Structure 1
Amino acid sequence: MEWLAKLFTKYPEMAVYLAVGIGYLIGRLKFRGVGLGVVTGSLLGGILIGNFFHVPVSDQAKSLVFLLFLFGIGYSVGPSFFQNLKGDGWRWAVLGVFVPVIGLLTAYTVAHYLKLDPGYSAGLLSGSLTESPAIGTASEAIRSLSLPDEQKQLWIGHIAVADAICYIFGTLGVIWCCSSLGPKLLRFDLRAESKKVEASLGIQRSKLGVYSAWQPIGFRAYKIPEDGLAVGTTVAQAEKSVPGVRLFVERIRRKGDIFSPVGTTVLEANDTVAVLGRTEFMIKALGPSAREVADPELLEISVVSFDLYITTKTIAGKTLQEIVDGVEEARGVLLRGITRGGHDIPIGTNTVIKRGDTLHVTGSETAVEKLAPVVGRVIHPTDESDLAVLGTAIFIGILVGAVLTIPVGHLRIALGTSVGTLLAGVIVGWARSVRPWFGIIPDAAILFMRSIGLAAFVAMIGLKAGPIFVQAVREYGYILFLGGIVVTLIPLIMGLFFGRYVLRLNPALLLGGIAGAQTMIAGVAAVQEKSDSPVATLGYSYTAAFGHIFLTTWGTIIVSLMT
């Protein structure tokens, strides 16, 4: 293996990419639906390689990929972070701050009691609270200390060791607390409460796995018979004849002529109508005697499926029902889905749309083009990123982080280039939600920055930690694991009681909220499985932005507190 050791020494990037590849293989392994994820997998991949080979890794290389990750995550959560501070969202914002703060205080208390060094303390925090980016901010804080390089590298290696040990229960603890322990502590029936939330949102179930009737099928052509239910009614009346369902008569063939109707157009016997909607509801509106016909000329309608990004007050803050009733431009457009903060949220008549949401819509090209400027903008597929904004924002974030210090008691804590870059991403992401033309970076590019940036960074941390991993586990393994259990559970349990009895949050949504405050989407998935309902995603979407920002920042804080 000497030849491989020489290769890794000469070309350390080989080891980094191998560690990332191993990490993704480890991340795919799951037991009963639960896995470590690709980030922890990459960390373990790096530790595995580093345990057998000396791989020289540049601190500058680590910083380069980590700053890309931080900007990407800030850019993603920026719109929801500021939006959730408004209106009734303040209660969720408080929860999103409360849980991370309790997590920091618990981690500090446990680390101080166990007499851990700053490296182990930071890894205890990042692993137990399942926020791997804190590894990076803590590493930067350690590198800035006035200590010998050997001591700093040792402590940075300890971060990786503690994170790998504590992350196991960190993941399992969030899943268990959200799906099983939480409902027992708060004494409520998760399924029954979730159904109540669905009813309040106007979500109608027709069968298992179907949560809304707002799903389009497309255009169909029907001929209205002499005894058809729609004969003698106006187009507007026919479209509203099935409560809670959206149908649109786009074109009519009458006596050989084709025309586009208005709301007051009266339907006649033997009309052939082109209707947009779900087939089963079309029959209810037109009558069971209406029959579908093949009329290619009538159905020659340009149909588009676009994603609309919400930026305007016309839509933001309103329910779907209010939009349907009050926004004329919404006619002829059907909603297929809503994405908030990268996650799909349930659709119901009382679902509230927020700035920064993405609506997935289908309709005639004309109808969608009318609606787009009213709600915000169309997200056109693009492979170009505004690198001018990206580069400038990261530069400013690094500059601010390098010069700004925050007084905390007798301490003066440097903000750090990592936290500065994270905040720069938050601001640019928010600015994009207000000015859609500003700082456009495709979702695929952001996803790549977030995935490869963090995976490569932790892989390099693992390569450095490899030589000390086995010995460190022997000395501190069980202590860190037990301490990690405490650090994981206390913020979750306190968050449950604080959210329910102080903030008066709905318990079903609260479970998703505490999972979001610890940025663990697997916790939400477990709640959805237990409740047979998607509503917990709403709670997650309220708090995840706060969790990402504060938990990442805690890496810097915990090092300052422990030195």
Structure 2
Amino acid sequence: MLPALLAGQPEIALFLALAVGHAIGAIRFGPFQLGGICGTLVAALVIGQSGAHLDNDVKNVAFAVFIFALGFTGGPQFFANVGREWRIGLLSLVEVFVLLALLAIAVPLLRLDQGTAAGLLAGAATESAVIGTASEAIARLGVPAEQVRVLQTNIVTAYSVTYLFGLVSIVLFTSQLAPWLLRVNLRESAAQLWQKLGGENDMGDGQHSALPLLVGRLLRVERIVGKTVIDAERTVQLGVTIRRIRRGGDTFRPAPDEILRDGDVILAVGRRDAMVDFARNVGTELPDEPGMDAVQAEQDVLLTRKEVAGLSLARLRQVADVGLARGVYIQRITRMAHRIPPLAGTVLRRGDVLTLSGPQEAVQRVVPELGYPVTPTVKTDFVFLGIGVLLGMLLGALSVKVGQADLTLGTGGGCLVSGLIFGWLRARAPVVGSLPSPAAEILKDFGLATFIAAVGLSAGPDAVKLVREYGLILPVAGILVSVVPAAISLALGHWWLRLETPILLGAVAGQHCSTPTIMALTNAAGNGTPVIGYTITYAISNVLLPLLGPIAVAMAGALAR
């Protein structure tokens, strides 16, 4: 009854695979979690035994939307990181070349076909997008349809087996084995780096420090009588701003050249560490004073100004126009959907979203000097989205004749390039198009999950054959192909590039594009310093790894002859 229903109405099978798969992916085994995509693939392989099959058009559209959204969200950071952060970004190139070298060894040694080779690479590198680009490449091989189906089945089966072992391996390697090999206490090293960058306590989502970064204090002027407001603010190295003065019965907002008088009551706002010294310089702190409250406005800004990108927060404060930026502080930094510690030594990158805090009028003055305001919106510009995907498909359809072979990006490569360009354009000119982050995330998640479910359902009946054929070979190969590039990057990053250990380990997690790995790593480190390295290699690998799908197929075909 149920198999007949699923086979007759494959859309039911699709959403069943999505629901069951994400439920499986949410189950935790200690620090490990399969995730929704791998869970969906496992569920689809099982449900696929019923004979349910989705049209190729559904699969192709879902993958095109996913890969465009992937490029769109990563575009600004990709172009920002390729040139400036070459030292850390180099690890993404190490990942690519070592993966291909290992594949060149594995194909003849294990007698892997093109589908199994591509699936091994996708699973061990924990990069689901490779499944789509490799499947497209196999469809263009010019072999019989039945052989295409078998090879595409082998991709998803090999991926499902090697992903699990590759994920567990890279999580254990970065969070446990690598610090031991380097003879480093990761938690102590991360704490030292945090302090070096000027940090205090690191807070996670939903947490707020009992000692916040910005504080306000009411102080009676006793020891800085005769100084101007701006000179009084400069008595401490870090930022403090005098927002209000109460003199006699009057309360007013002071100009920078206002002279402070004995008995004035001031409202000072600034960094807590600076406020301690400032209060000592000024006089007695008061518990309350009527009419002395002030509102702090917050505004998210997309950083696009090249003069600001590359500066640390400390350097930015030094070069900022005092009159323009007075009273404005950077509360948070978000990069590639990950929170970056807003420390004095944190370097800003184009594409960062900065959360500014300060007086409304001051914040509005500063925004154009940094980039564009990020206005919360729930609307998606479907003209922008449609043209982007369309151009990507057209670009993917172009081919160049090289010898006997036709080289083409395919739909996946074309939409990835289109997404990168459109994302970069949106970052440069946010008035053009609109694809809010939540909308882009659901396009990525739903598009990839639908594509994975579609290929899993098609592969279901034949998946068991591949597992029986290779047995334990695939899991072992998955572990090696996952850990060897990471180990080489670790050695290069530590002894040649001289990277700080937390940043290096974060970069290793990023070269695998592995979110579970960075989560485990930040837990082991005790703060968010590994995310600094992670976002750089993640942005680059997210573009490079999907392009390996066609290369893996071509390489396996050539080596098998």
TM-score of the aligned structures, taking structure 1 as reference length:
0.91
Q: Which of 269, 275, 287 is equivalent to 1:276?
A: 269
1-structure distance, mates of 2:202, 2:458: 55
- Of 44, 52, 55, the match for 2:52: 55
CA distance in 2, matches of 1:521, 1:361: 27
Most deviating of 371-380 and 169-178: 169-178
Alignment partner, residue 178 of structure 1: 174
Give the secondary-structure state (helix, strand or coil) at the position aligned to 1:344: strand
CA drift of 1:251 comes to: 2.0
User: Who is 1:108 aligned against?
Assistant: 104
Asked whether the equivalents of residues 23 and 43 of structure 1 are also in contact (C-alpha less than 8 Å), the reply is yes
* Equivalent in the alignment of 1:495: 489
Q: Is the 8 A contact 1:141 1:559 kept in 2?
A: yes
Return the match for 1:65 from 48, 62, 67. 62
Would you say the 8 A contact 1:211–1:346 is kept in 2? Answer: no
2:255 is aligned with 1:255: no
Deviation of 1:283 (Å): 6.0
Q: 1:211 to 1:102 in 2, by over 3 A?
A: farther
- Quote the residue 1:516 is aligned against: 510
Question: How many Å apart are 1:232 and its aligned residue?
Answer: 4.2
Report if the CA contact (8 A) 1:309-1:358 is conserved.
Answer: yes
Counterpart CA distance in 1 for 2:16 and 2:194 is: 46
**Cα drift, residue 97 of structure 1:** 1.5
For 1:42, the aligned partner's letter is: T
Q: What is the match of residue 477 of structure 1?
A: 471
Structure 1 window deviating more from structure 2 (389-398 vs 377-386): it is 389-398
More divergent stretch after superposition (129-138 vs 185-194): 185-194
Separation in 2 of the partners of 1:519 and 1:206? 23
Tell me what 1:455 maps to: 449
Equivalent position SS for 2:524: helix
Change (3 A) 1:259 1:507: same
Q: Which residue in the other structure is 1:143 paired with?
A: 139
Q: Pick closer, same or farther for the CA change 1:126–1:206 going to 2, 3 Å.
A: closer
Distance change (3 Å), C-alpha of 1:554 and 1:212 = farther
Give CA-to-partner distance per residue, 1:123-160, whole Å, 9 cap, x none.
11111110011111111111222122222112111111
What's the TM-score once normalised by structure 2's chain length?
A: 0.91
Letter in 2 for 1:456: T
For 2:539, what is the secondary structure of its paired residue? helix
Q: Are the counterparts in 1 of residues 124 and 478 from structure 2 also a CA contact under 8 Å?
A: yes
Secondary structure at 1:57 match in 2 = coil
Segments of structure 1 that go 5 or more residues without pairing to the other structure are none
Q: Name 2:299's counterpart in structure 1.
A: 306
What's the offset of the Cα at 1:280?
A: 7.8
Q: Is it true that 1:324 corresponds to 2:317 in the alignment?
A: yes
Q: Is the 8 A contact 1:129 1:488 kept in 2?
A: yes
Letter in 2 for 1:82: F
Please tell me whether the aligned partners of residues 213 and 272 of structure 2 are also in contact (alpha carbons under 8 angstroms).
no
Amino acid at match of 1:254: R
Corresponding residue to 2:379 among 377, 384, 390: 384
Match of 2:76 in 1: 79
Choose from 333, 351, 364 the match for 1:369.
364
Write the deviation string for residues 23-69 of structure 1: whole angstroms up to 9, x where unpaired: 11111111112101111011111112112x22120111011111111
Shift, 1:314, TM fit = 3.6
Q: Kindly indicate whether the alpha-carbon contact (under 8 Å) linking 2:325 and 2:362 is maintained by their aligned counterparts in 1.
A: yes
CA-based RMSD: 2.6
- The 5 A counterparts of 1:523-538 are 523-538=517-532
1:164-216 CA-partner distances (Å, limit 9, x unpaired): 11011111111122122222333444344334433442224599999998833
Q: Distance in 1 between matches of 2:82 and 2:455?
A: 35
Worse-superposed segment, 341-350 or 494-503:
494-503
Runs of 5+ unmatched residues, structure 2: none
Query: What's the % identity of the aligned pairs?
Result: 33
1:358 maps to what in 2?
A: 353
Q: Look up the match of 1:441.
A: 435
Count, aligned residues: 551
CA contact 1:84–1:92 (8 Å) conserved in 2: no
Q: Does 1:119 align with 2:112?
A: no
- 192 and 410 in structure 1: CA distance in 2 versus 1, 3 angstrom threshold: farther
Who is 1:99 aligned against? 95
**Per the alignment, do residues 278 and 199 of structure 1 end up closer, same or farther by CA in structure 2, a change over 3 Å counting?**
closer
Q: 1:242 offset after TM fit, Å?
A: 4.5
AA aligned to 1:28 is: A
Query: 1:521, CA displacement in angstroms?
Result: 2.5
Corresponding residue of 2:415: 421
Deviation by residue 1:349-387 (Cα, 9 ceiling, x = unmatched): 121111111111222211110110010011001122222
CA shift for structure 1 position 500: 2.8
Asked whether the equivalents of residues 134 and 549 of structure 2 are also in contact (C-alpha less than 8 Å), the reply is: yes
